[in-house]
Amino acid sequence: MKMENKQTSLFGLMIFTGFILSMCAPPPDPGAIDERETARLDSLRRVKCPRMMSSAAEYYKNRDWESTVRVYGEIVDLGCDREDPEGVYLYYAIAYEYLGNFDKSEEVLLKGLQVMQNNIELRKRLAYAYKKQGKTEEEIAEYDRLTLLVPDDISFKQELAELYAKQSRYADQIIILKEILKLDPDNETAQGDLANAYELSGKDPMDVYESRWIKNPENISYGLDYAERLVSADRSQEAVNVLRSVINADRTSKIAWRKLAEASYTANDLEGSSEAYEELFNLDPRDYRVAISISKVNVELENFDIAMRWADNAVKASDAGESLGQKGNVYYKSFQFCRSSEISTEDKIIASLAMNYFEAAASKGFGRFKNSLNWLKENEVLFGRAEWFMLDSNRKSQGSIAPRSECYSWVKERLEKDPSW
């Protein structure tokens, strides 16, 4: 009995000692647990990640976008994005784009950029996601960041400049366009946009047009633009000089000859204007309006014989009302120039010729000379029965009459006798 009690006491002592020792033992090492968990996950990834990546690629290839985003989501959750983070987040985001979920695409890309802050491809895609959502300010900020990350990439600067233009932020646009031209001085798009931005911002773009033309003298469109600006700035003679240089580069440019004629006219060089119009007519003899322009310039020069010759050329090219009206106008202007204080028979012949052509023009629907026609009819300046009656028999015998005065010596046409005379 004593032996049993002794054994029982010894057993209890051993249990108590074990309990005390267990209480004094150090806790399990967390690091060891983490290492075991990491090892377990790594082992799991080695098995599952290749399969999941392959599945995602296959779904993407087959354009199964729902399955693509599902598998890429699992890939990211499991940490399988470590091998190719750019590819995972990029194609993950693109799959959402195809589904039209640009907000989810944005979310994926922002998550990817937490891992790869300066990844260019992800940031380009993020800018696109912002664009599709109408988040213009965010898009601008993203392209601004891209221009800092890749300062020599002109395409990002161009996108940013376009965004500034759409927001009417012309001062910012000008800064970016100048950066583009530093990298590519011959960039025609940037040159044109810069000139336009200056104009829209209220600044004088003349220097931009001049610089563009000087740097690219073979590009006649730049010369034409510069000349047009000079004319608008009342610097027509400078425009004439630029246009002559343009024509030296291309003598077949009809628009250059036309602009030279117009600029010369504005610069009060009427002879130069007429010569330029004549060169233009030689390039296209069917353009009756050019012949009319030459006639009009020579009327102002009081070269009525030349003016009538070109009015006749206009009629030959087209007997439109405008051409006939110009013939009438040459007669009318010469009548106003030559008439004496007392209207002579010769004056009345010319006035009647003018009226005939004005009426012919009106019959074809061209009524620009209506006021002149009415004036002729209302002021007793036309040749009629009384004037015919007063002619000598020699002039009457011809059945028509031409003016004899020196001022009308250029007139080749005769006024036919009216049956009512």
Using one digit for the tens of pLDDT, what is the confidence trace for 268-326? Answer: 999 999 999 999 999 999 999 999 999 999 999 999 999 999 999 999 999 999 999 99
Average of per-residue pLDDT across 205-217: 88
What are 128-175's pLDDT values in tens digits? 999 999 999 999 999 999 999 999 999 999 999 999 999 999 999 999
Name the CATH architecture for the domain at 45-136: Alpha Horseshoe (1.25)
Residue 1 has pLDDT above 90, yes or no: no
What are 239-277's pLDDT values in tens digits? 999 999 999 999 999 999 999 999 999 999 999 999 999
Query: What Å distances lie between residue 180 and 105, 155, 377, CA to CA?
Result: 30, 9, 66
Structure tokens at 419: 């049956």
Smallest Cα–Cα separation from 359: which of 348, 346, 372, 349? 372
CA–CA gap between residue 267 and residue 39 (Å, rounded): 88
pLDDT band at 9 (very low <50, low <70, confident <90, very high): low
pLDDT band at 13 (very low <50, low <70, confident <90, very high): very low
User: What's the confidence (pLDDT) of residue 27?
Assistant: 55
Does the pTM surpass 0.75? The reply is: no
Residue 400 has pLDDT above 80, yes or no: yes
Residue 45 has pLDDT above 80, yes or no: no
H or E element at residue 401:
strand 400-401
Q: How many CA atoms lie within 13 A of 86 on its CB side?
A: 9
Largest CA distance in the chain: 184
DSSP-assigned beta bridge partners for residue 401: 415
- CATH 1.25.40.10 spans which residues of the chain? 45-136
What are 62-78's pLDDT values in tens digits? 999 999 999 999 999 98
Q: How many CA atoms lie within 13 A of 114 on its CB side?
A: 7
